Structure formats: C-alpha cells, structure tokens
Chains A and B, each alone.
Chain A
Amino acid sequence: MRVLLEVDDLCVNYGRIEAIRNVSFTVDEGEIVTLIGANGAGKTTTMKTVSGLRPVRLGSIRFQGKDITNMPAHDRPVLGIAQSPEGRGCFVGMSVLENLDMGAYARKDRKSPKVKEDLDRVFGLFPRLAERKSQVAGTMSGGEQQMLAIGRALMADPKLLLLDEPSMGLAPKLIQQIFDIVTEINKQGTTVLLVEQNAAQALKRAHRAYILETGEIVREGTGAELAADPAVKAAYLGGDT
C-alpha cells in the first residue's frame, strides 16, 4: 500500500498560542484514518492545515510524495485533496446543484462526461440531494447540508477526502447514516481522513486512528485496537459503544 499523505512534526500557531505541536501521521491509499480527541485538542486545526487554510509554522506536509507544506489552499483541490469543512460551509445562497457544481470548480476535466458520472455517484449516495436539486442550500436541514458538503467535496473527484466532524449536531439516526455513507465512499475507492468527536463511530469505521490531546498525538493504532483499549474506552467512549 502506498502512502498518500505524510504529515511530519507539524506545528501550527494561532498568534502566540500553539494549537498543535509535533503532529505526525500518515494516510495510506485506500484507508480510512481518523483523528479523534476532545474539543480544542487541535483536530480541526490539523485538518485546516492539511487543506491549506492555516499556515504551517514548522514541519512538513507531503501529498503523493510532493511537498505541499506552503502551497496555497486553492491549489490543493487540483492535486486531489477535497475537504468537507467543520460547520459544513455550504454556499447557502446557491442551490444544491450550484453547490455541487462549485465542487468541480477546479477540475481540469470539468467539461468531460466524467463530471456527470460523479454527479450521479453523489446522487446515488445521497438520494435526498437528487430530490432537492434546485432547493437553496440555506433552507435545508443540518443533516442535508452535511450531505451536500460531502457531496460537494466528492465532486472534486478527490484522491483524499477530508471530513471534519461530519456528525456534528446531527440526530443519532442520521449520524449512523452519514457514517455508513463514509464507509461506502471508502469502498468505492476514495481515501478518507476523518476528524471526529464521536469516537465510538469513528474507531468502528476507521482502519487506523490517532488520538490528539492538547495539540499532540498521544496514541495511535488500528481502530479496533484503540476501541478495545481500557484507557481509551474510559476517556473517549464513555462506555457506550
């Protein structure tokens, strides 16, 4: 299996405050890798740094062997990195279809029939979006907006899909559904890096996992290993798996 993403000794600051410190992890092709941790542990910062929204202070990020540490965010989608951001970030004034179109904005092959196939793939994964093509995104429920954000990221035809808290603020039944779809997207061949507070679900779905605490990685292992670990259970799973 080839390494898709390599993050080495990453340090990121917000002003003088260190948000993450010496964070290193890798994502192999075909994997689901998850970063779990409490609120404020640095999960979203890590994600935003990988997609280029936050500047790196120290360390490096390599994608398919290429150094992208200081590449501007808007140049990364072309390489095959797409993110569904925390809080969804849908273009609320645009329709569902326009939002999905925006996902394909940077594609070199955006005029080819492949885009239509990807649109059908998204509609296959999220039939709800197909029903609501012309609805304005801002008028949809949180769950629907989450689907739209994931669908929009898929429209970039990414090699690596970054999902930041896809379960945030959703009803338990919907959470289950979203994670099922994440697993399905992975089975269809897309590598996934998943950041989650819902550790139980994340560990269940992920091949490998890293635990972030106050800006540092404190544990790593396979999803099953960590889910079975008593310390992890006590700290993150609260007994209800």
Chain B
Amino acid sequence: MDLLINHFWELTITGLAIGAVYALVALGYTMVYGVLRLINFAHSEVFMWGSFAAVWALMAVGAGKASGLGLAGYLVIGFVAAMTVSALIAMLLERVAYRPLRKRNSPPLIALISAIGASFALSELMGLRDKPLGWFNLENLRDYLGRPRENLPLPLQIQTKAVFPVFNYDVTNIDLIVLLSAIVMMVILDQFIRRSRLGRGIRAVAMDPEAAALMGINRDRVIRLTFLIGGIMAGAAAMMYLLKIGVTRYNAGFILGVKAFTAAVLGGIGNIRGALLGGFVLGVAENYGSALFGSQWKDVVAFLLLVVILLFRPTGLLGESLGKARA
C-alpha cells in the first residue's frame, strides 16, 4: 500500500505511457471488428513485425547514443520504418488470410481459425528468420538478425532525463516522447474518422454494410483502408514499445496483443474512443496492481479488472457503439 501511495504519480505516468501502446494496438482490433465483425488475432504479429522493422532500420543507419536533433532524426526513422512495415503486413494479412474467405462467404468461425493460423505463421517466420540465410548464401547478414529466438535490443540509446515534475515524480523524456506521439496519432485518427469523407465511409460500413453499399461506398476498399490504418497505429505502438521496453523478440506480440485486445473489449469493442480509454485504464491499473500485490501479479490484476468491468458493463466502458448500430 505504501508503495502505491509513495509512487502514485510515477505509477500513473508510466502506466499511461504503456497504456498508450495498448491503446494504439487496440485501435487495430476494434476498427477491424467494426467493419468485419472479425477479431483479427494476427494483429499482434503486425505489431511485432513493426518492432523488428524499427530495430533493423536503426541498425542500418548506425544509430547509437543520441540526443537533440540526432535523436529526433532516429525517432523519425524508427517510427516510419515500423509504421510502413506494420501497414504492409496488415494489408498482406487482409489479402491472404481474410479476403479469399470473405469472397466465398465463409462463416465467421473460419475467418477466426485463419486469423490464428496467420498469427502463428507470422510469429514463427520471425522466430526462424536465420534459416533462409543458408539457402540464399546471405550468412553475412547473420549479425543483423540477432539470435532468432532471443531478445533483439533497440540500438538507439537515449539518456533518460527528467523533463518536468508531476508532484513527486519527474516525468522522463522517454515518457514524454511516448505519450506525445501517442496523443498526436490518436487525435489525427479521431478527426479522420469523424470528419473526412473516407472516415465517414468507414463508420457507415460499420453501422450498416448494405446501406453503405447503396450510398456508393466500396466495402472492400473500406476494409483495406481499415487494415492499413490499424497497421500504421500498431507500427507507431511498436516504436513506442521499443522506447519503453528496449528489446523485442519473435513472440513479443503475444502478451501485448492479448493486453491490447483486452483494452479494446474493456472500452467496448468496435468503439474507437473506447479502445483508447481501455488502453489507458489497463496500463494504469496494471501498474497500481503490481505496486499493491507485487509485479508478478500484474497480469492477474489486469484480467481480473476485465472480468469485473464486464460483469457490470457487458458491452465495455463506452459500450459497443457500432454493434448497437446494427439492431
């Protein structure tokens, strides 16, 4: 208890920072669910591939200790690499694992199996990434890849600095970078969905696919766009995760994916603002929980919270707004 009280602000701020990562990944789950009524279980791997892309891109440009303008440059490179690769993987996933099934009007359960299969395939592909080197005589790339089933560290090193105090906690530059970039991404997305023509198309398809078609909205294009946006957000989250955690590995997506999915359900699946709220709530609750019961109980607290909230609000904190729209 003392730990929670003495470190309340530290736990809150760092909880918000990791919560921002959950929230951005949760967006991908919730938006795809909104337009397809499908849980894209392979979304965690979209995140994981983005994290590797950031690490490799930064290794390629020789990133090391950095500060000031140099740091800003490396951050841009890391974010762009992660977002690009995650977006590509997400679109590939839609093209290969879901669209063929959709065209044949498969039942939802089939798409779910396809999602789980795609998740394993993408994860193991990364976990076995050293194998193809021998086949193609690219052994000299081995140093870059790292040991395939172990942690790969982010080469970029940032000197942690206190930026400004919030009560008794000094917010660090890393917290600040993570939180600010998350907020920028969220505001852009929220405005895009609410105000732009394409954003309204996405909402229309989520509310009533048939009526949307009658308005002249191409559902396939909306679905592709949704995967693209989800991928971009997951890529941004991957770079933030690296800044906070410092390493990635082939199965880094698994627990994070489960947490992000939990955040989406917590906020109300299908609801974009719900996913954001759910992510932050989960991140903060986890931190408080680990302060109260010890960090090994962190995940237990997170999932107990989910169960308790769903007992009282079965459609999540903000309700399944798009689902209700179906009735």
Contact = CB atoms under 8 A, between A and B. Distances in A.
Do A and B assemble together?
yes
B322 interface: yes
Contacts of B322: 93
B215 A102 contact: yes
A83 B201 CA distance: 17
Interface in A79-133: 82-83, 85, 89-94, 98, 101-103, 105-106
Contacts of B162: none
Given A91-B204, A93-B203, A105-B197, A53 B325 contact: no
Contacts of A51: 214
A77 B216 CA distance: 6
**B interface SS class:** helix
> Interface size class for chain A?
20 to 34
A21 B11 CA distance: 68
Interface string B201-220: 10110011011111111110
A105 B216 contact: yes
Contact of B200 (A75, A77, A101, A156): A101
Interface residues of B, number: 21
B325 A138 contact: yes
A91 B213 contact: no
B251 to A, nearest CB: 37
Given A89-B208, A105-B197, A82 B325 contact: no
B173 interface: no
A78 interface: yes
A173 B201 CA distance: 35
Given A94-B203, A101-B200, A138-B325, A106 B210 contact: no
A197 B307 CA distance: 48
22 contacts: A53-B213, A74-B215, A74-B217, A74-B219, A76-B216, A85-B210, A85-B211, A90-B211, A91-B208, A93-B203, A93-B321, A93-B322, A94-B203, A94-B204, A102-B200, A103-B215, A105-B200, A105-B201, A105-B216, A106-B215, A106-B216, A138-B324
Interface of B: 197, 200-201, 203-204, 207-208, 210-219, 321-322, 324-325
Question: What are the 5 tightest A-B residue pairs by CB atom distance, in nearest-first order?
Answer: A106-B216, A89-B211, A77-B216, A73-B213, A105-B215
